Each structure stands twice: as structure tokens, then as C-alpha cells.
């Protein structure tokens, strides 16, 4: 679980920060990051953390979300609110599906938990490779943030502790996925610039919900890179001809 980073975006209550540190300790997650916290991490947080006090002591604080996830290869958002119609921004996974993805991945994984009153914004969710929601009572699906952290970390912990992983699902390097996305975005900006952001978001969600192998990702990198080279050569020859 050393590559799983819990990121709290603008937490409001220090007791929740403490409870989250406690459940992180339960499931062997050790890195906590706070983005623009509205509360102090004081006596109440430490009292609630119990044996997770060391996690609070090492917790880092950031002014912006971008700074908090800069070194992360996979960014996962969480939400308790379901949209009424399909949305590329809110294309959901459940915690078990997320755990399957993370269990076979190499690289830093940031899991974002939003404000206690209204969660993560759409703009924040757009920065995520995946969005996770916990199935719950439709009439009251919103969980306390510490409970949501516990459920998601439990599923990841359970999957990572599984005795073996089939060969076809051996660990994928998330940094390679990141490079592939960069090439795809560059290609999209040349071919259909007005749709480039949407194409990037769709591919992020696709990669999160499927389980490509490292060979799959490297093949796509090669295809996108070669296509970019061909487009550049074609543009160069056209410019030279003029």
C-alpha cells in the first residue's frame, strides 16, 4: 500500500482528518496529503487518530490540488453523487473495480476525497483518471468521508493481499500509461484540436476501467509516436514545397 496516497481536498473538520489517519493505519496506507485545509490538525485530530498519529505527523499540506498530485501517475476522484445521464466526467467505477486496477499497477496512486459538504467539483474530477463511487442507499448515498476512505482502502488492501495475480494481469507501469496519454493528447491536438480535451478524458476513463497489459500500452505509444512523426514529416514537406 506504499504507493497509495490519500488526498483530502479542503477538509472542514479535524476529527475526520484524525479518523482517516486511523483507518489508513488499519489498511497499511501511510501517506496523507491535505489540500487547502479549513481546519487545524490539532488535539482532536490526534485523539481520533489513535495508532495513526504518525500518519498525521508526516502529513503534508499543499495550497493547490495540482501541487498535491504532481508526482502521481494515477489520480482517482471519489463522489457519492450520481449524474442523471451519462457523463465522461462522472463515469464511475466501484471500489472493487478500482482495487483490481491498483493491484496490478506500478507508480504513485492518489485517491482524492472532497469537502464534507459538497465533495469534489467537476473541474477537480476532470483532473482524475478515474472516478469511484460506493454503492449505497439511493435515498441517502452520501457517506461520512472517513467511512468512504475505510471502504475504498479495505478493497485495495484485500486485493493487494490476494495470494497471486494471473500472468496476463501482471503489474502495469502507470508512468507508461501517462506517456501514452501525452502522445494521444498531442495527436488529438493536431487532428481535432477542438475535441482534444474530451478525447483525453475519455481515454483516461477507458484506461481506468479496462486492464491493458504493459505490452498493450507500449504498442499504443509506438503507434501514436509514429503517427505524430508522419504528420510532422508531411507538414514539413508541404511547407518546403511552398
Name the residue ranges covered by the structural domains of the chain: 4-162, 169-241
- As a dihedral over the C-alpha atoms of residue 224, residue 226, residue 230, residue 233, rounded to 10 degrees, the angle is 120
Helix axis angle, 196-209 relative to 174-191, nearest 10°? 150
From CA 27, how far away is CA 229, in angstroms rounded?
Answer: 46
Q: How many CB atoms lie within 10 A of CB 107?
A: 18
pLDDT at 167 (0 to 100): 47
Mode of pairing for the β-strands spanning 31-35 and 4-9:
parallel
Q: Please, are residues 151 and 83 in contact by the beta-carbon 8 Å criterion?
A: no
- Give the rounded percent of residues in the chain with a pLDDT score beyond 70: 87
More confident residue, 91 or 24: 24
Fold that domain 4-162 belongs to in CATH: Alpha/beta knot (3.40.1280)
Of the CA atoms within 13 Å of residue 170, those in its CB half-sphere come to 5
Q: Is 232's pLDDT higher than 70?
A: yes
Rounded average pLDDT over 163-191: 74
Q: Evaluate if pTM is beyond 0.85.
A: no
CA nearest neighbour of 190 among 223, 225, 231: 231
pLDDT at 230 (0 to 100): 84
Q: Is 238's pLDDT higher than 70?
A: no
The residues, any chain, with a CB within 8 Å of residue 93's CB and separated by 6 or more, are 101, 130, 131, 132, 133, 208, 209
pLDDT at 192 (0 to 100): 84
Mean pLDDT, the chain, integer? 86
pLDDT at 189 (0 to 100): 86
Amino acid at each position: 500500500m506504499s504507493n497509495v496516497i490519500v488526498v483530502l481536498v479542503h477538509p472542514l473538520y479535524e476529527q475526520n482528518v484524525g479518523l482517516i489517519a486511523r483507518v489508513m493505519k488499519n489498511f497499511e496506507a501511510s501517506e496523507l496529503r491535505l489540500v487547502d485545509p479549513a481546519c487545524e490538525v490539532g488535539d482532536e485530530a490526534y485523539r481520533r487518530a489513535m495508532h495513526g498519529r504518525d500518519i498525521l505527523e508526516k502529513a503534508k499540506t499543499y495550497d493547490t490540488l495540482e501541487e498535491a498530485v504532481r508526482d502521481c501517475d494515477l489520480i482517482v476522484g471519489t463522489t457519492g453523487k450520481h449524474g442523471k445521464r451519462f457523463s465522461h466526467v462522472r463515469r464511475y467505477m466501484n471500489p472493487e473495480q478500482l482495487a483490481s486496477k491498483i493491484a496490478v499497477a506500478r507508480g504513485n496512486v492518489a485517491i482524492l476525497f472532497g469537502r464534507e459538504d459538497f465533495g469534489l467539483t467537476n473541474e477537480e474530477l476532470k483532473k482524475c483518471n478515474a472516478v469511484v463511487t460506493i454503492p449505497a442507499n439511493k435515498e441517502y448515498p452520501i457517506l461520512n468521508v472517513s467511512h468512504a476512505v475505510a471502504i475504498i482502502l479495505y478493497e485495495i488492501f484485500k486485493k493487494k493481499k490476494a495470494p497471486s495475480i494471473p500472468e496476463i494481469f501482471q503489474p502495469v507501469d502507470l508512468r507508461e500509461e501517462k506517456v501514452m496519454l501525452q502522445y494521444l493528447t498531442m495527436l488529438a491536438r493536431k487532428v481535432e484540436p477542438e475535441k482534444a480535451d474530451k478525447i483525453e478524458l475519455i481515454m483516461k476513463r477507458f484506461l481506468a476501467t479496462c486492464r491493458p497489459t504493459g505490452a498493450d500500452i507500449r504498442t499504443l505509444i509506438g503507434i501514436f509516436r509514429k503517427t505524430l512523426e508522419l504528420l510532422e514529416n508531411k507538414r514539413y514537406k508541404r511547407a518546403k514545397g511552398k
